Amino acid sequence: MECPRFLEAHHEPDPNEEGSQPMRVLGVNALFHDPSAALVVDGRVVAAAEEERFSRRKHGKRPLPFAAWELPEKAMAWCLEEGGLRPQDLDAVAYSFDPALAKPAEEMGLPDPWDWLRVQYAERAPQFLATALPGLSPSTVRFVPHEVAHAASAALASPFPVASVLSLDGRGERSSHLAGRYDHGRLEVLASQELPHSLGLVYESLTEHLGFLRSSDEYKVMALASYGEPRFLDDLREVLYATGDGGFVAEVPDWERWAPRRTDDGTWGTAHGGRAEHADLAASVQARLEEVLVDLATWLHGQTGDRVLTMAGGTALNCVANSRVWRESPFEEVWVQPAAGDSGTALGAALQLAAEAGDTVEPMGSAALGRAWGDEALARWLRTAQVPFTTPDDLPGEVGRILADNGVVAWFDGRAELGPRALGHRSLLAHPGPVENLERLNDVKGREQFRPVAPMVLLEDAAEIFSGGPVPSPYMLFVHEVAPAWRDRIAAVVHVDGTARIQTVDDSTPRLQATIRAFKELTGLPVVVNTSLNTAGRPMVDDPRDALELFGSAPVDALVLGPHLVRRPDVFAAPSGATA
């Protein structure tokens, strides 16, 4: 497959170009879903956040053409505030969609009669942004192709200056995939798959067919797949396959051929709340997706010979597939952007423009790029809410004891994470031993019971317990096999297929690391349950008010706000004279 000509003008930075200088770039993702903003200054990521964390609307908005004009106004304003900049101080605003590359939906074979409206909104984005950010000139806005923004979010944010890159998602302007190579900020595009072929759209369509919310609940299909058998795999190999030149065939099949369309009627309380063929179809598509990804990665390695593969795009949030690529492709290392979905394109677009300007781009280092509050500010929130709290000398020891006593802890510490994974900054923690804690936490969060919860594990202990995936694994983007001797000991975090989606914990999160060590001293287990600090249908907790609201409405036993500890009995003690 030849390098796609429609991407050629967007991957040749020239650091020697006269006038090259460090850039202050605001990245913006707005057109489809998960609107977000990111600020990159002199090649360093200063801030990044999703609009949902401010608006408290899950995913920020639905990915409809009629909503394409909506901008991540609060996220943009916060990024500028965090960087101490005004709109007029920006050298560029990087918008992660280039309408000049778009084709009419009917020419691409997409059943989207209103896609033209989405493209028109993108064309007017410079004016919309100038209105939302007074002082910004529309001429400052630059369009970055969607798949390039995904690719940059992986390779440029990774710790590897030379790496292959795969971007796979639902769709961009006219493609759904990019395969290439970054060499010290320079992108060489080796292949791209034009629409309507899209592994992401196939998975989205299956999500909807199974009764879940499209462009939102794809992770539920991945979890459900473990309960089925891939008995339709041979059929799917005939309609979903790599073409041997870096591309693939992937059009949405007629799902009714294998299982009837399901309407979400709330009966998925257990894994088998639907019909067996639904789980089998999920298992079959999941297995075929994994096979195609391995084929694509193997082809790419044949072109580059690189040691490292970086990945982004919504498909790269499929941690089961990522682990299979890690095990079976020729690459020695696989690094996945923690905000692999569209929210990460704000970051990628900004990094791409910085690299094109000649900046030396620094690795992101951590997904903790959002808002944070100091210790005294957190104490003021608690005092204002008239919530009794303590500031223990040994907070990790006290929280470790609560967990050892089978308490559930809402954990709020440091900067909020970018992306869909809770990574120890906005988490619910629990004991991994009692198997009933899985049902308990799913009840707390209002989730389907077939969905697993994940383990955090001390890095130094991870290899003893988990295998079949990379270690370290700091971003919870791979699944690992749980050693048989440990499966009963940490039963709450072991999925039905004997795997777990782990996060390794090291001294980059010292308070969390100390808490797990204290728990280990009490229980012998270097693992705790980690699930996101939110309830069903709500965005992850972001600010202290969100944390207090969750604590007041969900049956958790303690709340940690930085160094401060709130215990439920102290807050909800019966008034004097009251009876239980």
* Region class of 56: left (phi > 0), else alpha (psi between -120 and 50), else beta: left
536 Cα distance to chain centroid: 17
d(CA 248, CA 242): 4
264 Cα distance to chain centroid: 24
d(CA 146, CA 152): 10
Rg, Å, the chain Cα set: 23
- Supply angle C-alpha 408, 412, 416, rounded to 5: 135
- Residue 177 backbone phi and psi in degrees, to 5: -165, 145
- Token pair for 321: 């597939």
Query: 35-51 burial string, b = 16+ CB within 10 Å, else e?
Result: bbbbbbbebbbbbbbbb
- Three-class SS of residue 420? coil
d(CA 155, CA 158): 5
Task: Please give the C-alpha separations between residue 120 and each of 48, 68, 101, 105, 503, in angstroms, as whole numbers.
Answer: 26, 9, 12, 13, 41
Cβ(230)–Cβ(287) below 8 Å: yes
d(CA 257, CA 437): 38
d(CA 387, CA 570): 8
Q: Looking at 11, 33, 197, 278, which residue is catalytic? A: 33
CB atoms near residue 488 (< 10 Å): 10
d(CA 157, CA 45): 9
Tokens 């639902």 identify what position?
170
Q: What is the 3-state secondary structure (H, E, C) of 148-161?
A: HHHHHHHHCCCCCC
Cβ(242)–Cβ(185) below 8 Å: no
Active site residue 33: yes
Task: Please give the C-alpha separations between residue 39 and each of 86, 289, 528, in angstroms, as whole numbers.
Answer: 12, 34, 33
The DSSP code sequence of 217-259 is -HHHHHHHHTTS--TTHHHHHTTEEE-SSS-EEE----GGGTS
Pairing of strands 503-505, 454-458: parallel
d(CA 120, CA 104): 11
Active site residues: 33
